[in-house]
Amino acid sequence: MNPLIIAEAANPEWVSVPLVGWSHARAIQKVIGGHLVTQIRNAEAIERSGVDPSEFTAIDSEAVASAMWKIGDFLSGDAGKGWTTKMAASALPYYYFERLLWKQFGPRIKSGEFSLVHRVTPLSPTMPSLIARKCAKHRVPFVVGPLNGGLPWPREFDAERRREREWLSYLRSAYKLLPYYRSTRKYASAIICGSQHTLAQMPAWAKDKIIYLPENGVDLDRFSGQRSHTAALPIKAVFLGRLVPYKGCDIVLESAAELIKQGKLILEIVGDGPERQALENQTAELGIQHGVTFAGNVPHEQVVDKLVNKDLLTFPSIREFGGGVILEAMTVGLPSMAVNYGGPAELMTASTAFPIELGSRSEIVDRMRAGLEQVVSNPTIIAEKSQACVDRVRKLFTWEAKARQIEQIYSWVLGKTEKPTISFE
């Protein structure tokens, strides 16, 4: 197989979507082969990673992308907020990117040089493709995904929604009016859905071409360490993520306050963002400064060092699309206590985590407090879940495993096999 892999966002030195895009694309190249097409902003980082220049092409769409990115930043306001607004602003640059891509690669696609075309990023299901129909016209299978996004804001957290500057999220369904929205789904040979929510939002007539495959995976070279100590009091908890309202770090502080005061738990907060000062103030008001450490931002390759010596990941995000942090913690044998909604709910199991049911903020605080008290009263429960975490990740969620799963999808769209059933139980 010789796929043309489109990942406009694919960067080994960044996090979030660019890192997911890079990890998917590179794993596919290593397992299956193919050529990567990305945006020019990623070129230097990819070269620094040691990839041969012949294995990728960087398209310069900065004439449109740079200006629209600045507009998106301006409209969204605070750094790290207004994700829906930024995605809306990126629609025009992506159309331009695909236009340039087809101009450069269209003749090669038409000639049959590539066995299929796979658009990995954008991950957002709101972003249509100009070339899906063109590929179908020339009988070249077009695969799109993993698509993931649009997880509804819990109605109990509308205040957090406004604090996140998610004003456009109230009008999100308008994306179905975008040019090429229907044709992307109509002419795709396979649609990979990265979440159950995204799958449920797909039109009924497209169901036969849909495959469920969670978007996130883990790089075992980067997360090679493993938790080996026995949990004991004080329990060492960690929060890892951007300090923005929906991530729920304030919930962790309130839930853990009494246990921290009693010396039964200590907490390290890894990450930074616009809420940091408010969280530091909350820590002082609760009188728990002695048991809370703010580590700030940590390079992604050093995150493993912050996880292996901990006992529990506390992560009550109330609107998490993917939940890659859950997998990263599981990789080193660290169970999570997270809200059972969105991405985390599809990664955790009762044997690997302490799921907290979604509710109002006060209900989540009470449920997390009860969960932390359970762990403090019986630290051996950590060990029971630790190995199950490692086993689940290594079986299903390494990037190599995901590339093997995608290989099954490729074989199906090329008519070599039946539609695969990929289980994540």
| Model confidence at 142: pLDDT above 70 | yes
Whole-angstrom distance, CA of residue 397 vs CA of residue 331: 9
Model confidence at 169: pLDDT above 90: no
Residue 70 above 90 pLDDT? no
Structural domain total, the chain: 2
Residue 153 has pLDDT above 90, yes or no: no
Q: Which residues contact 350 (CB under 8 A, 6 or more apart)?
A: none
Domain that holds residue 281: 235-396
Whether residue 287 sits in one domain with residue 163: no
Q: Which residue has the tokens 């010789």?
A: 2
Distance of CA 81 to the CA centre of its chain: 16
Residue 202: give its domain's CATH number: 3.40.50.2000
% the chain with pLDDT above 70? 91
Q: Where does the pLDDT of residue 196 fall: very low under 50, low under 70, confident under 90, or very high at 90 and above?
A: very high
Residue 257 inside a domain? The answer is yes
Predicted confidence (pLDDT) per residue in 308-340, tens digit: 999 999 999 999 988 999 999 999 999 999 999
Distance CA 189, CA 201 (A): 18
Per-residue model confidence as pLDDT tens digits over 289-307: 999 999 999 998 899 999 9
Going by pLDDT thresholds of 50, 70 and 90, the confidence category of residue 166 is low
Q: Does 172 map to a domain?
A: yes
Which is nearest to 185 in space by CA: 133, 122, 150, 146? 133
Domain assignment of residue 171, yes or no: yes
Would you say residue 170 has pLDDT above 70?
Answer: no
Query: Is 91 a residue whose pLDDT tops 90?
Result: no
**The predicted structure's pLDDT at residue 84:** 53
Q: How confident is the model at residue 383 (pLDDT cuts 50, 70, 90)?
A: very high
Look at residue 176 and tell me whether its pLDDT is greater than 60.
yes
